Amino acid sequence: MTKILKILHSNNYISGNEIGTMLSISRAAVHKKIKNLKQIGYNIKSCAKGYKLIKDKIFFNEYEIESRLNKNLSVCKIIKYYKELPSTQTTVKMLAQKGFDEGTVVIAEKQTTGYGRIKRVWNSNNGGLWFSVLLKPLLHPEESAKLALLLSIALKKTFDFYNVDSKIKWPNDILINNKKIAGIIIEMSAEQDIVNWIVAGIGINVNNELPKDLKKISISLKEIINKEIDRTEFICKFFTNFEKLYTSFKKEDFKQFLKEYNDNLLYKNKCVTVDTGYNTITGINLGIDENGMLILNTKNELKKIMSGTLREYKK
């Protein structure tokens, strides 16, 4: 159905014979595919001129995404879309264990047990973007955190398309107006010196209604620009951005993106505290080094931190 949707997105009437020729199928097979699309909910007008897609709804499903991606992407080759899942992250990890290829993407309209870093609960109601992608880069396990940094840049670039000023909060969040709009989680299977696979989970507040208790610290893109967002457009732009970054990253590592990351870093050159899970360190945020480690200028020395929860320091 992906190919026929791509044809119908042309905005013009097109005959069943023309569609059949393009897809190398019979006119009867075209009619069957059109019928299937109508059953999903697409409004397709039929007349003597042929078929025309009436774009009176914003659809979000695997067929829309596949039909609107400009080219084949290594990071988005197989799309599995669900109305509801416990967690896209858990689902992709299961698929990874079964040997699925890099670029397997699982999307859910709603997650019932979505989670972020340190297994924090992630509110995942209808209208947001909740998805996980399977990646298989040739990396040492200690380098896996760099992918969260790369994904942060891809998200930042995607938000730029909507003319909103987003900032990267190390190590895995995107904020707008000091409120969280997106988060990233990285999980992996690895041996001593090589990564077998990485599952990157991404949650983005797009059109979803946020609970009252989260509105002080979180925000949605719909709230910011005051209109419904086409989630297919957003996710296609995200994967296109990430594909370019990921391809370059595999060739030349992360150092080429260091300046771009630090230029968009929240709380840069400000006093912050970082809870590492073992202790709390306070210092001036100098940004990250080429290995993705956060550099803090404390009273006594420069400290490099691999991971932790960062907050602006308030006396």
Residue boundaries of the structural domains of the chain: 2-54, 62-263, 271-312
Q: Is the pLDDT of residue 121 over 80?
A: no
Q: pLDDT tens across 125-179, in order?
A: 899 999 999 999 999 998 999 999 999 999 999 999 999 999 999 999 999 999 9
**pLDDT for residue 273 is more than 80:** yes
Best CATH choice for the domain 62-263 from the list 3.40.50.2300, 3.90.76.10, 3.30.160.60, 3.30.930.10: 3.30.930.10
Is residue 122 within 8 Å of residue 108, measured between CB atoms?
Answer: no
Highest CATH level, class, for 2-54: mainly alpha
Residue count (the chain):
315
Instruction: Work out the percent of the chain whose per-residue pLDDT is above 70.
Output: 98
Cβ atoms of residues 203 and 89 within 8 Å: no
Q: Is pLDDT of 50 > 70?
A: yes
Query: Residue 212 above 80 pLDDT?
Result: yes
In this prediction the pTM is 0.91
Is residue 202 within 8 Å of 132, Cβ to Cβ?
yes
pLDDT value at residue 314: 81
| pLDDT bracket for residue 118 (50, 70, 90) | low
Residues 6 or more apart in contact with residue 295 via CB below 8 angstroms: 285, 286, 287, 288, 289, 302, 303, 304
Q: 50-54 and 43-47 as β-strands: parallel, antiparallel, unpaired?
A: antiparallel
Average pLDDT over residues 271-294: 93
Q: What is the pLDDT of residues 68-101, one digit of tens each?
A: 997 789 999 999 999 999 999 999 999 999 999 9
**Three-state DSSP class for 4?**
helix
Cβ-contact 257, 220 below 8 angstroms:
no
| Whole-number pLDDT of residue 119 | 62
Instruction: Please give the class, per CATH, of domain 271-312.
Output: mainly beta
